[in-house]
Amino acid sequence: MRSYSEADIRDVALIGHGGAGKTSLGEAMLFDTRAVTRLGRVDDETSSLDTEPEERKRKGTIYPHIAMLEWQKSKINLIDTSGQGDFLVDSLIALGAADAAISVIGASDGVQVYTEKTWHEADQLGLPRMVFINKMDRERADFDGVLDQVQKLLSDKAAAITLPIGREASFAGVIDLVANRALRFSEDGREVHSSEVPAELQAATQAAREKLIEAVAASDDDLMTRFFDAGTLSDAELLEGLKKAVRTQQLFPVLCGSATMNRGIQPLLERIVQLLPPAAEGRVRTGKNRSDEPVARAPRADGPLSAYVFKVLPSEVGKMAVVRVISGKLQADAQVYNATQDKAERIGPLYVFSPGKRHTVPEAFPGDIVGIAKLKATRTGDTLADEKDPVIFPPPQVPAPVVRYALHPKAKTDEARLSQKLHDIAEEDIALRIEHDQSSKELLLGGCGPVHIEATLDKLRRAGVEVELRPPRIPYLETIRGRARNVEGKHKKQTGGKGQFGVCYIHMEPAPRGSGLIFEDAIVGGAIPRQFIPSVEKGIRDRMARGGIAGYPCTDIKVTLYDGKYHDVDSDSRSFEMAGSKGFMAAFKQAQPVLLEPYMKIEVVVPEETMGAVIGDLNNRRARIAGMEAHGRNQVVKAVIPMAESLDYSAFLRSATGGRGSFSLEMSHYEEMPAHLAEKVIAASKQVEEEEE
């Protein structure tokens, strides 16, 4: 397959809410460009884009998928993204690889939560955008109503460039407002029949066309002058002005159709090539060089090589790094420099993504998206560059997990395999967080929501590893509020031969928060030989690690060792370790032990109308509100909340805000737990093992 230059490549992401029909639109575009021979469908699991078992099971896109198609001598790299909140991180990372986006909206559902979120992200990136109002054949399809929502909720610069001919069961085609023609389609949608606008639609068409002309004229001073002089714009002026307005984000064209019926798709393809910018006109990307100075990379083939790895995928040829070329040319069978890892990589063939096939190209120009297999050191977010003139682009921003579960393999034979398989999955999905809790010895899996975790478990099952999910053990700590004086720790054991003997006397008191153990040696006169004093401290530390009242580590305690007894024959290091441990336990129980619970900083972003419910729930969860501030159309609530109260917060927030809310958590500090709640934790914990006599 031949390589395309940056002047003939367009990178377009399909974005929007789950269920709007992004994948179905991609399938129709592939069918109309003859990249596939049949129109794939999500519902009957024949989609050529949603290929993963987890996607077919849920009948929805989870991972970004790239497909190459050719139209009017141009190459379009189509990036199909997920519209589900649990997989939004991958979608937003993939969006960063695009030069333009198409927001797909259901004609009966309108603008939904993730329509707004993905639109806002594309806005932050400065991407030209189109809107495609899909499913015009469905019940309650309302083009005018959805267009009004788009203009109110997304941008007042949105303007229709096609109108539907009929709707619901009578949807028959579209009116192209730029060409002022009615377009109807053959049974399979591949043939387009152009005709005059029907008489009954001429008035609506004329009114919509005048609005479009006014919007285009308003985007450019020169066009505005011509519009005032002539009262309108010529067809050529309209098309040229529309092209400029779209590429400068002064106007967002709105088209309509039905992806599953394959109607209205070819006019969309035509406008993608006409209106959206080729890679050569894409945005300049900024990174940093070895000296941490800003470096700009323009999409020019004669510039130094720079390419961004935005996804790692499994494939039949091994791990496949999906790479967007930013500048320069990427050559097959060459050596490249991974600037992020500071390592050279040898690359083999360059693959382009076509449904069900693998094609190779000899080189890739700016804007192209290619796959490279078997790179050893390269990971998602890395930059490939010219070693003589390197640049490192910023890595993707990955939010902290909103849910965490403890993983327990069902079979002991799976314990070793679990960590390796999770590592492999995490390489493909950087939104996953794998942690080893040192206090509970649990393996924790964090993600963006319950569905995200479920999809990960499905992958583990496919790899032959079965696990159980449990809520993570809260990392409580134990400490004291009071003092204990003159406490004896005694270990004496006689077994017939050499015995064991060690006695220590200690004081105990609270230490400053965060200090752990402060051990003070106040022995005088050789009451305990010097070589055994570290053993007393070791016994105390070992006991602290195992807890005193509920099995959680003890902290922030000062222990003063001031006296003791020993035996010339029977005393040894182990004896004084046991004496220190027993003395600590005896003193700990006298010094008013309490539980400390971890508090998290929480930042909740919610629509203003749900503020009352969210704040009320936070108060019920023992959170303390630290502040509130406006953020666009949303409100941001900042608070601190006990970790134990935050474990199920994701489910509450999704229900309370209809999926429009989001939150982030990070560790803050520890506080003493209320006594009535501490009693429940202690009762639920295993009994602390008593020291053997």
541-569 as b/e: b if 16+ CB within 10 A: bebbeebbbbbbbbbbbbbbbbbbbbeee
* Mean pLDDT of the region 487-495: 90
Q: What is the pLDDT of residues 126-185, one digit of tens each?
A: 999 999 999 999 999 999 999 999 999 999 999 999 999 999 999 999 999 999 999 999
pLDDT at residue number 46: 85
H helix or E strand, kind and range, residue 67: strand 65-71
403-467 architecture in CATH? 2-Layer Sandwich (3.30)
Angle in degrees, CA 393, 394, 398, rounded to 5: 140
* Mean pLDDT of the region 454-467: 89
Class level of CATH domain 285-385? mainly beta
Beta strand ranges found along 552-623 (DSSP E): 557-565, 593-607
Q: What is the pLDDT of residues 222-237, one digit of tens each?
A: 999 999 989 999 999 9
φ and ψ of 274, to 5 deg? -75, -40
Q: What is the pLDDT of residues 632-642, one digit of tens each?
A: 667 889 999 99
C-beta atoms surrounding 238 within 10 Å: 22
3-class secondary-structure state, position 268: helix
pLDDT at residue number 206: 96
Report the DSSP beta bridge partners of residue 564: 504
pLDDT at residue number 18: 86
Helix segments in 231-337, DSSP class H: 235-247, 265-275
595-679 fold: Alpha-Beta Plaits (3.30.70)
Least confident of 14-23, 242-251, 469-478: 469-478
* Mean pLDDT of the region 180-199: 94
User: Could you tell me how many residues make up the chain?
Assistant: 693
Q: What is the pLDDT of residues 20-75, one digit of tens each?
A: 999 999 999 999 999 998 998 888 888 888 888 888 888 888 888 999 999 999 99
* Mean pLDDT of the region 445-452: 85
pLDDT at residue number 688: 38
Percentage of the chain lying above the pLDDT 70 cut: 98
Higher pLDDT, 283 or 631: 283
φ and ψ of 252, to 5 deg? -120, 105
* Mean pLDDT of the region 203-218: 95
Asked whether the domain spanning 595-679 has the same topology as the one spanning 403-467, the reply is: yes
Q: Does residue 481 register a pLDDT over 60?
A: yes
Q: Where residue 686 falls among pLDDT bands split at 50, 70, 90?
A: low
The per-residue pLDDT of the chain, averaged, comes to: 91
pLDDT at residue number 692: 34
Instruction: Copy the structure tokens of residue 508.
Output: 């105990």
- The contacts found for 670-679 with CB under 8 angstroms, 24 or more apart, are 670/477, 670/513, 670/596, 670/597, 670/598, 670/599, 671/596, 671/597, 671/599, 671/642, 672/481, 672/594, 672/595, 672/596, 672/597, 673/476, 673/594, 673/595, 673/596, 673/597, 675/594, 678/594, 678/595
* Region of 496 on the Ramachandran plot (φ > 0 left; ψ -120 to 50 alpha; else beta): left
pLDDT at residue number 439: 64
Instruction: Copy the structure tokens of residue 555.
Output: 């902290």
Relative to beta strand 593-607, strand 662-672 is antiparallel
Closest CA to 381 of 108, 85, 89: 89
Q: How far apart are CA 82 and CA 214, in angstroms?
A: 35
Domain residue limits, the chain: 8-281, 285-385, 403-467, 478-591, 595-679
> Is the domain defined by 8-281 classed in CATH 3.50.50.60?
no
77 and 369 Cβ atoms separated by less than 8 Å: yes
Percentage of the chain lying above the pLDDT 90 cut: 66
Q: What is the pLDDT of residues 60-80, one digit of tens each?
A: 888 889 999 999 999 999 999
pLDDT at residue number 1: 67
CATH number of the structural domain 478-591: 3.30.230.10
Report the DSSP beta bridge partners of residue 100: 12
H helix or E strand, kind and range, residue 91: helix 88-95
3-class secondary-structure state, position 324: strand
C-beta atoms surrounding 515 within 10 Å: 12
Q: Is 417 exposed, middle or buried (CB count within 10 Å of its CB: 0-12, 13-18, 19+)? A: middle
DSSP one-letter string for 183-205: EEE-TTS-SEEEEPPPGGGHHHH
Q: How far apart are CA 113 and CA 46, in angstroms?
A: 28
DSSP one-letter string for 542-568: HHHHH-SSSSSPB-SEEEEEEEEE--T
